[in-house]
Amino acid sequence: MNLYEHEAVSSIYKKYKVPHANFVVATEPNDEVAQFVKDNGGAVVKAMVLVGKRGKAGAVKLVNTPEEAAKAVSDIMGMLVWGEKPVAVMVCEKASIVAELYCAITYSTETRSPVITLSMQGGMDVEDIDPADIQTFPVKAQAEVEPYEIRNMLVKIGFTKQYGEILRQASMAIANVYQAFWGAECRMLEINPLAVVKVSKKDKKTGEMVEALDIRALDAVITLDDDASIPPQKIYGERSAYMREPTQREVDALLIDRDDHRGKAGSYVEPEDLSGDIAMMTFGGGGSAVTIETCYDVGLRPANFTDIGGNPPAEKMYRIGRIILSKPGLKGVLVCGGTASNTRIDVTLGEGLVNAIDDLAKEGKLDRDLIWVVRRGGPEVEKGLKLLAECFERNGIKGKIYDSELPITEAPLILRDLLVEHRGYKPGEQAKEA
Amino acid sequence: MKGTSLLNKNTRLVVIGATGREASQVVRESEALFPGIILAGVTPGKGGTTIEPNVPIFNTIEEAVAEHGAIDTALIYVPPASVKDAALEAIAAGLKTVFVITEHTPIRDAAFIYRVATENGVRVVGGTSLGCFVPAVGRIAAIGGKAPEGALADGGLVVISKSGGLTVTTAEMLKRRGHGVLMAMGMGGDIIAGTIYSDLMEELQANPDCTGLVMLGEVGGTYEEQAAEAIQAGKFTKPVAAFIGGEFQEEQEGVAFGHAGAVVERGKGKASDKKRLLAAAGPNVRVARYYHDLPDCIEELGVKPNLDNPASREVPAKYATI
C-alpha cells in the first residue's frame, strides 16, 4: 500500500526521528494554515496525491502570506494532479536548500536483502539521474544499520567533499530512515530530496543566532508491505489498486472474502479505463496471469481480472460468478484454470457457477449470445465439468468445455476463433501473428 | 536412486504446524501415497498426540529431532506471522532444508530468515512454495493433490516455477507430450525467495539424471535475470525452456496482480527484459512465446520424450454446445 506524504511523515518520520520540516495538514483554507504561514514567514503548499512529479503538475506552490496560502490551498484542492484528486494539502515550512540527495531503501532480489540507494544528484526524477552518480549498498537484514556504515556510504558518494561538517547528523538521520524502513515494514521508502539545508541555530558559546547546515527529509514516498504483520489497511484504511473510484462490482466483490476465510473468490479488478468485453473467471495467481496475458496476445480484451483459489465454497463462487457476468458489453466468457491441487471443481464450477447461471436465467438476466470456453483440471473435475455442461444445455448457452488435456493457454485461442466465427468479433491490435 | 538435494531417498520431514486443517490433510495424503517420508509433526501445545495413522506430534522441533535423528527437512505450514519463528527454530535444530508453504510471509521476515539460513548453510524454499515432487521418490507438501500420478510422471526434466498452480499444470502438459520429470518444484512468487533458479543450476548440471530445465518465471524481481547470468557464465549447459508471464502488466508500474513479487519497480523486473536476456544467454535456451509452446521448445533443444504413447496435439472438447 502506498502512503500519502502526510501519513508517512505523521506516523513514520515522527516515530523514528527522521528529521523533517514542520507542517500542518489542511483540506481547505483555515486559521491554522494562516497562523502557520504567518509564524514561519511563508510556506510550501503541497498536494497530497499518490502520483509522482507533483512539481511539474503545478501541485507544489511557494507562498509568502496567509492570503497567498489560502488561495494555494483552494487551488490545489480543486485541481487534478495527473488525473488524481488531492485528498489534502501539506503546508510546510520553507527550507533553504543547499544540496539535494536522493535516498531510497528497498529490498533487492539480487542480494535478497535490504539495499540503501544514495546519490548526491537528488531533486530530479530518479530515472534522470546519471547511473554513474547513484550507488546502491546492500545491508544486513536486521533492525538497524550503524551510523558508521552510513558514513562509509556517504564518503563513497562524495558527500564529504562539501558537507563533511554534518557527516555525523546525516549518518544518524539515514540510520533512522533505515530503522523506519525496517520498523514500519516498508517495501520501499524513498526520500527525494533528502536535503542539506541552511538553518539558524543558537551558538552554544555566544548565545547568538548563527547559520549552520542541517539535514531534512523534504519528501516521503512510502510503500508498505501488504503482508506486513499489521495489515496496512487496518492502520490507513482500504485503498483502491487504481487511481479511480472502485466500481460497484469491485466493491461487491471485496465483500465476498471479508467475513469468510475459506478460499478466495473476491479479487475482482476491472481495467483502469473499465474497457473489455471478455468476462474472465480465472483461477490461481500464475494460472490467471498466464491466461490474461495470452488473451491480450491473441487480441481478446479482458473485462476484468480475477484470481480465484484456495478451494472457496460454492456460495463464494456463486457471488463472484454473478458479479463477473453482470458487466455490460460482454461478448465472451473464459473460465480457465490450471490443474488445481486443492480446489474442488464440482463445488466451484459444478455447484457455485451452475447456480449463478441458473438463477440469472430464471431472473431473465442471462445473455445467451455470450460464447463460453471452459478449461479446468483438478479434484472432481469430471463431475464438475459434467454438471456445467448440463447447465449449458438446459439454459441454451453456447460454448465448449475442456479438461486439463488442453494446454491452459490454448483456451483463449479457441475462444477468439469461436468469437470471430460466430459473432464477427474483431480481435484487438495487440494480436500477434498466429 | 534418482533425486535432488531437496528430495531424495534419505529425505525425512518434520511438519511444522502439522495439526492445522490444511497441514494435517497433507500429512495424511502424503503418507498414504509415499509412506515413511514424514517422521514427525510439531505443534506447540499438542505434543504427545498423533496424526493418524502414525505421525507423532511434538511440542518442539528439538524434541522431534531427538526422537527421530533422520529428520533433515522442515515443512512449514504455520500462519504468516509465525513463519519466522518456525524457520529459525528449524535452523537452530540443525535441519538442512526448510520449505515454507505459507503464503503472505512479511517481506521483512523473509529477508531475515534468508540471512540467518545463509549464515548457517541452510537452504530455504519459498515462501509460498507449493513444495516439491520427485516421482521416483515422493513428494514434499500438497503438490499434485490426492492423485498426482495423472499429472506427474518419472523422467529427466526439472520444472521450477514461481507459480504453484503452473508447477503441476506444466508437469502435466509435458507428460501429455511424453516427458516425465526428475523434479517439479514450486519456488514461490514472493519478493524474497529462499531458493531461486540459479541456486540449483550447478547441482542440476552435475546430476546425470537431469536432462533439462523448464523455468516458469514472471514479471518482477531479478531471479530470471540471475538465471540468465548463470547460464551465460556456463553454469548450466543443458537444455532450458522458459516461459515468462506478465508482459501485459508492464504498463502498470507498481500494481501487483497475483504474486507479491510480480511488480515492476522503477523500470526493473520487466517480463520483456527477462525474455530478451534469457534468449541471449546461450544456445541451450528457448523462450516460449505462448505458455503451451514449452514442450516444443524443450524438444527443439534435443530432449526426447521418455514416456510411451504421448497424447495427440489436437484436443477435442469434452462437451460442446456450439
> Minimal CA–CA distance to B204: which of B219, B220, B215, B218?
B215
Residue A103's SS3 state is: strand
Report if residue A5 sits inside a domain: no
pLDDT at A116 over 90: yes
**CATH code of the domain in which A30 resides:** 3.30.1490.20
Q: Which of A92, A122, A154 is the last residue of a domain?
A: A92
User: Among all residues of chain B, which has the CA nearest to that of A282?
Assistant: B258
Query: What residue ranges in chain B does DSSP mark as E strands?
Result: 13-16, 38-42, 50-51, 55-58, 73-76, 97-100, 123-125, 131-134, 138-140, 154-161, 181-186, 212-218, 240-245, 285-287, 319-320
Of A142, A294, A307, the CB nearest to B291: A294
Residues A275 and A401 in one domain: yes
Bond before A232 cis per omega within 30 degrees: no
Q: Do A227 and B260 touch (CB under 8 A)?
A: yes
Is some CB atom of chain A closer than 8 A to the CB atom of B256? yes
Count of domains for chain A: 3
User: Among all residues of chain B, which has the CA nearest to that of A182?
Assistant: B108
Q: Do B258 and A107 touch (CB under 8 A)?
A: no
Residues 197-216 on B with a CB inside 8 Å of A are 216
With helix as H, strand as E and coil as C, how does B72-128 read? CEEEECCCHHHHHHHHHHHHHCCCCEEEECCCCCCHHHHHHHHHHHHHCCCEEECCC
Q: Do B166 and A127 touch (CB under 8 A)?
A: no
B106: which chain A residues are within 8 Å (Cβ-Cβ)? Answer: 185, 225, 227-229
Confidence band, pLDDT 50/70/90 cuts, at residue A433 = very low
Report if residue A7 sits inside a domain: no
Best mutation target among A1, A109, A366, A380 (most B Cβ atoms within 10 Å) is: A109
Residues A146 and A285 in one domain: no
B192: which chain A residues are within 8 Å (Cβ-Cβ)? Answer: 107, 109, 112
Min Cα distance B197 → chain A (Å) is 13
Q: B90: which 3 cell numbers? A: 528449524
Report if residue A16 sits inside a domain: no
Q: For this structure, is B179 an active site residue?
A: no
Q: Do B163 and A294 touch (CB under 8 A)?
A: no
Of A107, A287, A386, the CB nearest to B107: A107
Residues A105 and A86 in one domain: no
Residues A71 and A211 in one domain: no
Is some CB atom of chain B closer than 8 A to the CB atom of A32? no
Residues A79 and A117 in one domain: no
Amino acid at B136: A
pLDDT at A434 over 50: no
Is some CB atom of chain A closer than 8 A to the CB atom of B191? yes
Report if residue A149 sits inside a domain: yes
Report if residue A42 sits inside a domain: yes
Residues A339 and A190 in one domain: no
Q: Do B258 and A225 touch (CB under 8 A)?
A: no
Residues A198 and A323 in one domain: no
pLDDT value at position A381?
Answer: 95
**CATH code of the domain in which A387 resides:** 3.40.50.261
Residues A138 and A42 in one domain: no
Residues A85 and A102 in one domain: no
Min Cα distance B43 → chain A (Å) is 21
Report if residue A158 sits inside a domain: yes
Is some CB atom of chain B closer than 8 A to the CB atom of A230? no
Is some CB atom of chain B closer than 8 A to the CB atom of A136? no
Q: What is the dihedral of CA B64, B113, B98, B264, to 10 degrees?
A: 150
Q: Do A400 and B321 touch (CB under 8 A)?
A: yes
Q: Do A228 and B106 touch (CB under 8 A)?
A: yes
**CATH code of the domain in which A171 resides:** 3.30.470.20
User: Among all residues of chain A, which has the CA nearest to that of B314?
Assistant: A406
pLDDT value at position B258?
Answer: 56
A407: which chain B residues are within 8 Å (Cβ-Cβ)? Answer: 173, 291-292, 315
Q: Which of A63, A92, A121 is the last residue of a domain?
A: A92
pLDDT value at position B265?
Answer: 63
Residues A218 and A344 in one domain: no
Average pLDDT over residues A150-179: 97
Min Cα distance B165 → chain A (Å) is 6
A411: which chain B residues are within 8 Å (Cβ-Cβ)? Answer: none
Residues 54-83 on A with a CB inside 8 Å of B are none
B136-171 as b/e, with b when 16 or more CB fall inside 10 Å? bbbbbbbbbbeebebbbbbbbbbbbbbbbbbbbbbb
Q: Which domains does chain B have, with CATH numbers?
A: 13-125 (3.40.50.720), 143-310 (3.40.50.261)
Residues A344 and A398 in one domain: yes
Best mutation target among B84, B108, B314 (most A Cβ atoms within 10 Å) is: B108
Residues A257 and A191 in one domain: no
Confidence band, pLDDT 50/70/90 cuts, at residue A27 = very high
Is some CB atom of chain B closer than 8 A to the CB atom of A1? no
**Average pLDDT taken over every residue of chain A:** 93
Report if residue A234 sits inside a domain: no
Residue A195 lies in domain: 96-224
Q: A391: which 3 cell numbers? A: 447447465
**How many Å apart are CA B184 and CA B197, to the nearest integer?**
12
Report if residue A129 sits inside a domain: yes
* Catalytic residue (one of B68, B104, B259, B292): B259
Q: Do A182 and B108 touch (CB under 8 A)?
A: yes
Q: A149-161, pLDDT tens digit by residue?
A: 999 999 999 999 9
Q: What's the pTM?
A: 0.90
- Tell whether ipTM is more than 0.90: yes
Regions of chain B where pLDDT drops below 70 = 249-267
* Plot region of B267 (φ>0 → left; ψ -120 to 50 → alpha; else → beta): left
pLDDT value at position A219?
Answer: 95
B146: which chain A residues are within 8 Å (Cβ-Cβ)? Answer: 379
Q: A140: which 3 cell numbers? A: 544486513
